[in-house]
Structure 1
Amino acid sequence: MSLGDIIMAVPIKMPRAARMELVTLGENIRVARLRRKLTAEIVAQRAGTTRQTIAKIESGNPAVKIGTYVAVLQALGLLKGWGDIDDPVGEQMALDDLPQRARLKNG
């Protein structure tokens, strides 16, 4: 057993909500692949990975590297806009930190 096998065997702890999002993402990737009538093998070749890794992605396995998810999305033509994260809470926090008014210095 290699170090990589040992690392992969260790369960990854993550919040349930995050885990469910990965499962949903995996299901959506599978649906997109099937709608395009592509086999897991073809997507794996295009993404530079293996059929087994595609199966892990489609099951929402959290041990798969994010770069591999991105490569698979690219292979399916779904990468555009994927990294856009709308953060209204963060934007509001930044606005709240702005000074309420500017003062002119007399001098």
Structure 2
Amino acid sequence: MKEEQSVISVISYHKTEKIIKYNQQKYVKTQHCLRLYKDRVQSASHQFDLENINDMSYRPFTDAGLLYLHTNQGVFAYEVNGDPDHFINSYKRLKCFIK
């Protein structure tokens, strides 16, 4: 377990899950936070060490956008409503010190 550190940047994201109950299909949208620390990025269900993240990118859409984490485990997409520039720029500044 990592020792507790200060959060450098936070961006909220939505996760949409399809649930089938009593032969009815519903979509449930929950809100979570993506947190950037000096050594990792942490979501509700994943933790990525900064050295294992190769890049971050963003693709805007009409009502939201997708923030992509390009990792050594694959690409992970997070649906964000706000502008992720601060989060991405904070990551890029940290990444310069790791290389």
Structure of larger gyration radius: 1
TM-score tier after normalising by the smaller chain length: under 0.3
Structure with the higher strand share, 1 or 2: 2
TM-score (norm 2): 0.24
Structure with the higher helix share, 1 or 2: 1
